[in-house]
């Protein structure tokens, strides 16, 4: 295979996808593009519409009865893009601020490489997933029967990592990304005139106290050896400049790596909300949902991922990630059914952060991702 041509193709695909981003479950143009490329590569089967807008491509070689899945996410974020890239988003208010355009292009590159060169004995499932950003895409594909319609024995995924140099690779066995829980606490009292706070039971002071009290969950109520984060991200009231609010909404999220810790966070949040509300003579309602589960890499397959990375990266550029990160990934949903491994690929030391309006996937990383995908398939099949 002409590697220079493949790199050029992946760059062109990535720029096209970057210019036409689509939010979760709206990736119709992206899915059609992916499906057309897989058919162009001569895939045995290409099925669209899995989990709404997902695509699964199947490539078979030889007579092996084992199957490996490779997954990329396709969705973009509702963030207006800043900067002047020649391939900047043409969809106002939506951009690829997390690099899913690069993830998709890398997996397409691996698809073309494996379709042309082979080098494996068995079946490869190429899973192009919608709606990762809000934690619903993997579940949608699972609920649509992906595990039965397109069975596989193990699965691998890649995410780019700003700050990690291009050409560098990291992963770790066990916990690598956290669960994400969302919460909303609604305080209700009696609003009134700002000049007469004693005439009602306004909720803003109670809400401010509650925001502060929630910080004690991690600092005082959980075991310090358990990694966890509780973040209040919004405080919304129905007050105005001269009117004290009678309703306040406190929203945020919590991150953890074990179900027991998630359960304890919820328990303590309810205790604190009830106690704070009682102190200020208002009522409190707590809604707590679990959006992402922890991502736990299989130890044996993590070793296989390191071995595959050794075929692609310089020896000193392959490392065990020292600590898990508190970001979340719905790739974890597939690991409820089969073992797998999720890895990080360097996006450059000068890369803007993920979810930043100036972020851009580094094209220099494309070949590394494509070659890693191909390497793990050849090693496992």
d(CA 144, CA 146) in angstroms, rounded, equals 6
Note the pLDDT of residue 271.
98
Kindly state the average pLDDT of the residues 117-130. Answer: 98
Asked whether the whole model's pTM tops 0.85, one would answer yes
d(CA 380, CA 304) in angstroms, rounded, equals 8
Q: In the chain, where does DSSP find H-type helix?
A: 3-19, 28-40, 100-117, 137-143, 146-149, 204-214, 216, 259-279, 299-310, 366-380
Domains in the chain, CATH or no CATH each: 3-175+294-380 (3.40.630.10), 179-292 (3.30.70.360)
- What single-letter DSSP state applies at residue 292? E
Which of these, 176, 181, 139, 184, lies nearest to 159 by C-alpha position? Answer: 176
DSSP 29-40: HHHHHHHHHHHH
Using N-to-C axis directions, what is the helix angle for 299-310 and 366-380, rounded to 10°? 120
DSSP 261-274: HHHHHHHHHHHHHH
Tokens of 127: 């899973």
Report pLDDT digits (tens) over 324-368: 999 999 999 999 999 999 999 999 999 999 999 999 999 999 999
- Mean pLDDT, the chain, integer: 97
Can you count the helices (H) and strands (E) in the chain? 10, 16
Kindly state the average pLDDT of the residues 155-170. Answer: 98
d(CA 83, CA 308) in angstroms, rounded, equals 36
Which residue do the tokens 């094209």 mark?
363
Report pLDDT digits (tens) over 24-61: 999 999 999 999 999 999 999 999 999 999 999 999 99
d(CA 72, CA 103) in angstroms, rounded, equals 6
Residues paired with residue 379 on neighbouring β-strands, in sequence order: none
Kindly state the average pLDDT of the residues 62-70. Answer: 98
Kindly state the average pLDDT of the residues 9-23. Answer: 98
Note the pLDDT of residue 380.
98
Q: Could you tell me the pLDDT band of residue 281, with boundaries at 50, 70 and 90?
A: very high
First to last CA, the chain: 20
Note the pLDDT of residue 162.
98
**Burial of residue 327, with CB atoms counted within 10 A of its CB: 0-12 exposed, 13-18 middle, 19 or more buried:** middle
Note the pLDDT of residue 298.
98
């Amino acid at each position: 295979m002409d590697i220079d041509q493949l790199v050029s193709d992946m760059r062109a695909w990535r720029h096209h996808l970057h210019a036409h981003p689509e939010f979760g479950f709206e990736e119709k143009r992206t899915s059609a593009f992916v499906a057309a490329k897989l058919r162009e590569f001569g895939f045995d089967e290409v099925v669209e519409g899995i989990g709404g807008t997902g695509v699964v491509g199947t490539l078979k070689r030889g007579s092996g009865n084992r199957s490996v899945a490779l997954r990329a996410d396709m969705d973009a974020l509702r963030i207006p893009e800043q900067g002047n890239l020649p391939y900047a988003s043409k969809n106002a208010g939506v951009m690829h601020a997390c690099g899913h355009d690069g993830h998709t292009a890398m997996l397409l590159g691996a698809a073309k490489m494996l379709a042309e060169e082979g080098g494996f004995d068995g079946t490869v499932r190429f899973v192009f997933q919608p709606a990762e950003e809000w934690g619903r895409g993997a579940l949608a594909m699972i609920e649509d029967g992906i595990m039965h319609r397109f069975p596989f024995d193990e699965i691998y995924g890649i995410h780019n990592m700003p700050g990690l140099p291009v050409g560098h690779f990291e992963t770790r066995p066990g916990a690598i990304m956290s669960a994400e829980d969302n919460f909303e606490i609604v305080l209700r009292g009696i609003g009134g005139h700002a000049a007469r706070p004693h005439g009602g039971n306004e909720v803003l002071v109670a809400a401010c106290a509650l925001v502060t009290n929630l910080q004690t969950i991690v600092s005082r109520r959980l075991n310090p050896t358990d990694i966890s984060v509780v973040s209040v991200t919004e405080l919304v009231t129905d007050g105005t400049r001269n009117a004290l609010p009678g309703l306040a909404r406190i929203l945020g999220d919590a991150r953890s790596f074990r179900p027991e810790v998630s359960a304890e966070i919820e328990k303590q949040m309810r205790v604190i909300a009830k106690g704070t509300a009682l102190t200020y003579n208002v009522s409190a309602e707590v809604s707590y949902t679990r959006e992402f589960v922890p991502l736990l890499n299989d130890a044996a397959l993590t070793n296989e991922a390191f071995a595959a990375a050794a075929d692609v990266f310089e020896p000193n550029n392959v490392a065990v990630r020292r600590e898990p990160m508190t970001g979340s990934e719905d790739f974890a949903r597939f690991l409820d059914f089969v073992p797998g491994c999720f890895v990080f690929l360097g996006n450059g030391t000068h890369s803007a952060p993920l979810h930043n309006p100036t972020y851009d996937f580094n094209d220099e990383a494309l070949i590394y991702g494509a070659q890693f995908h191909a390497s793990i398939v050849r090693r496992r099949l």
